[in-house]
Amino acid sequence: NNSALTIDPQEVREELLRKYPAKVARKRAKQIVVNKVGDNEEVPEILANSRTIPGILTMRGCAYAGCKGVVLGPTRDILQITHGPIGCAFYSWLTRRNQTRPRTPESANFMTYTMSTDMQEDNIIFGGEKKLRQAVQEAIDTFHPKAIGIFSTCPVGLIGDDVHAVARDMEEKNPGTNIFAFSCEGYKGVSQSAGHHIANNKIFTDVIGQLDTPPTDKPFRFSILGEYNIGGDAFEIERITEKCGLTAHATFSGNSEYDEFASAHTVDLNVVMCHRSINYMAEMMEKKYGIPWFKINFIGAEATAKSLRKIAAYFEDEALKQRVEEVIAEEMVEVEKVRQEVTTRCEGKLAMLFVGGSRAHHYQELFREIGMKTVSAGYEFAHRDDYEGRKVIPNIVMDADTRNIEELNVQPDDARYRPRREKAALKRFEGEEDLLFGNYAGMMPEMPDGTLAIDDLNHHETEILLEKYKPDVFCAGIKEKYVVQKTGIPMKQLHSYDYSGPYAGFRGAINFYREIDRLVHSKILSLAKAPWQRNPELAGSYVKP
């Protein structure tokens, strides 16, 4: 498929914009960028985190999905009540394939339930607060949870139910249960991204810091932020970090429990996997509790090794560093064997990735490891820093969605956390910026010149990209899957992993190499014929407007 590499990306860009009315084309032009990386890693500016033009078939979801589904969804013992008509609760019920393993058979796990106030017309007209109170009381009487989260759907904001007042009242009536509500109506913001922000802020103010005793006194305690245990990724990461002698305290929020969040202020380090969904939390914990943080990436075997080394370097312990090297050496034997075998067949093949707010970047690493090239990639809802990198444009960190430190007036809690804060500050002072702040590169500085970065890709543009480049694999989500497959091109879901996985860590990399190898060599889709290809009269009866 190397003919695709001779395609002029500028021409494709023009083709993508051609059919739009002038105003729409002007806006999309800023969101479709031909990449070019400068000497200082600077890349062209891209418009991101901006409203989708009505009428366009976007890949995006809503703020409720980002808050309830994404950030809080994988937590098993915070009982979650969706306040709204039943659809939102039903469609967010285990569709995101995060897994969980309760510590003991007795541990609470509410993830298999979907709970909702099931609002009806009369609640919309007369208000739904009474029904919400009843639902919360019923949940407490039935399940006795440690915590309850209430999630607002669109109608709640429109009719003006005060979910926060309900949470406060019900908490007073039921001492011992931490009850908090999220104003995460679907229309808040332009995508899932606003929901992440809302979720992070509430967990920070109402949960973090509630429990001062950590469940263990093991060494090298750190939390992993932005890892949601899709397809068991967090299980694989836990396996590796444990093998290295590290103590992963909390994962926000894959395979997680309330108490781990409540005591997360007691760890020595936060590492951030998906920066987009949780940078808010990392920043606030650093400001209040002096916990330093840096980005890591467990997608890709090399990236996993690098991340482990970075964590070990932070703890400055020789035995730990040595153990990490041993683990990497041991795990890489099998990885290398499979990688080399798969590379012989996959080298030079082309991939496209359009996913969420971090995977379209992270998964390029796995493709690179087996010699595949990413010709075009983009996020659904990431911000400019996720594309362009923070190192180059530090000021854009503070875009409209990211002013939470000011919003919540987060202040340093110096009395108890001064030593940790001072240690972290000292590291920075000693020029270890790269350790603490490195790896802020966004997607574009790591993509070759001439590749296309496209924000908030839509259906129309997808069809053109497929036609022009004929990639060997197209990665996106469930809404895109069948559209892509109908063109005969293999499609890989990078949200749900097509119900497979894990893909993180060393064993995950092996799984991914093998699956991609099978997928790009499968002819089944290109052999399938649509009814109108067999019977042209069917095509003839469709008259193009």
Which residue of 96, 243, 470, 514 would you call a contact of ligand HCA, by CB under 6 A?
96
Among 492, 253, 252, CA closest to 359: 492
Structure tokens at 259: 């108490």
The residue with tokens 């359009």 is 354
Q: Is 456 exposed, middle or buried (0-12, 13-18, 19+ CB in 10 A)?
A: buried
Q: Is 361 a catalytic residue?
A: no
Q: Which does 274 bind (CB under 5 to 8 A by kind): ligand HCA, ligand CFM, none?
A: ligand CFM
Helices H / strands E in the chain, number of each: 25, 14
What is d(CA 123, CA 85) in angstroms, rounded to the nearest whole number?
Answer: 10
Q: Is 97 a catalytic residue?
A: no
188 vs 495, beta carbon nearer ligand HCA? 495
What is d(CA 457, CA 66) in angstroms, rounded to the nearest whole number?
Answer: 18
Q: Which of residues 283-302 bind ligand HCA (CB under 6 A)?
A: none
To the nearest 10°, the Cα dihedral for 366, 372, 376, 382?
Answer: 0
Phi-psi region of 247 (alpha: psi -120 to 50; beta: other; left: phi over 0): beta
Contact window for ligand CFM (CB under 6 A) among 355-363, 390-398, 421-429, 497-505: 355-363
183 vs 493, beta carbon nearer ligand HCA? 493
Question: What is the DSSP secondary-structure string of 260-277?
Answer: HHHTGGG-SEEEESSHHH
Which residue of 274, 353, 370, 436 would you call a contact of ligand CFM, by CB under 6 A?
274
Q: Which does 427 bind (CB under 5 to 8 A by kind): ligand CFM, ligand HCA, none?
A: none
* 508 makes contact with ligand HCA (CB under 6 A): no
Residue nearest to ligand CFM according to CB distances in the complex: 356
Among 184, 257, 228, CA closest to 96: 228
CB of 21 to ligand CFM, least distance (A): 29
Q: Which of residues 187-216 bind ligand HCA (CB under 6 A)?
A: 192
Q: Which of residues 444-503 bind ligand CFM (CB under 6 A)?
A: 495
Which residue of 9, 85, 357, 490 would you call a contact of ligand CFM, by CB under 6 A?
357
Q: Which does 292 bind (CB under 5 to 8 A by kind): ligand HCA, ligand CFM, none?
A: none
Structure tokens at 122: 């009369």
CB of 48 to ligand HCA, least distance (A): 16
Which residue of 359, 384, 390, 507 would you call a contact of ligand CFM, by CB under 6 A?
359
Contact window for ligand CFM (CB under 6 A) among 75-83, 273-281, 309-317, 410-418: 273-281
59 vs 246, beta carbon nearer ligand CFM? 59
Q: Is 62 a catalytic residue?
A: yes
Which residue of 9, 17, 62, 66 would you call a contact of ligand CFM, by CB under 6 A?
66
HEC string of 21-63?
CHHHHHHHHHHEEECCCCCCCCCCCCCCCCCCCCCCCECCCCH
Distances (CA, A) of 171 to 139, 168, 492: 13, 5, 44
List CB contacts of 288: < 8 A, sequence separation 6 or more.
209, 265, 410, 411, 412, 413, 417
CB of 71 to ligand CFM, least distance (A): 7
Q: Which does 478 bind (CB under 5 to 8 A by kind): ligand HCA, ligand CFM, none?
A: ligand HCA
Q: Are 49 and 227 in contact (CB under 8 A)?
A: no
Q: Is 104 exposed, middle or buried (0-12, 13-18, 19+ CB in 10 A)?
A: exposed
Q: Is 196 a catalytic residue?
A: yes
Distances (CA, A) of 492 to 113, 227, 345, 421, 475: 28, 20, 18, 43, 5
Q: Which of residues 203-262 bind ligand CFM (CB under 6 A)?
A: 226, 228, 230
Q: Which of 196, 197, 275, 421 is catalytic?
A: 196
* 65 makes contact with ligand HCA (CB under 6 A): yes
Q: Which does 276 bind (CB under 5 to 8 A by kind): ligand CFM, ligand HCA, none?
A: ligand CFM
157 vs 477, beta carbon nearer ligand HCA? 477
Among 230, 238, 219, CA closest to 506: 238
Q: Which of residues 397-426 bind ligand HCA (CB under 6 A)?
A: none
List CB contacts of 50: < 8 A, sequence separation 6 or more.
27, 31, 190, 455, 456
- Point out the residues that are catalytic: 62, 65, 96, 196
- Interface residues with ligand HCA (CB under 6 A)? 61, 65, 69, 95-96, 192, 356, 477-479, 493, 495-496
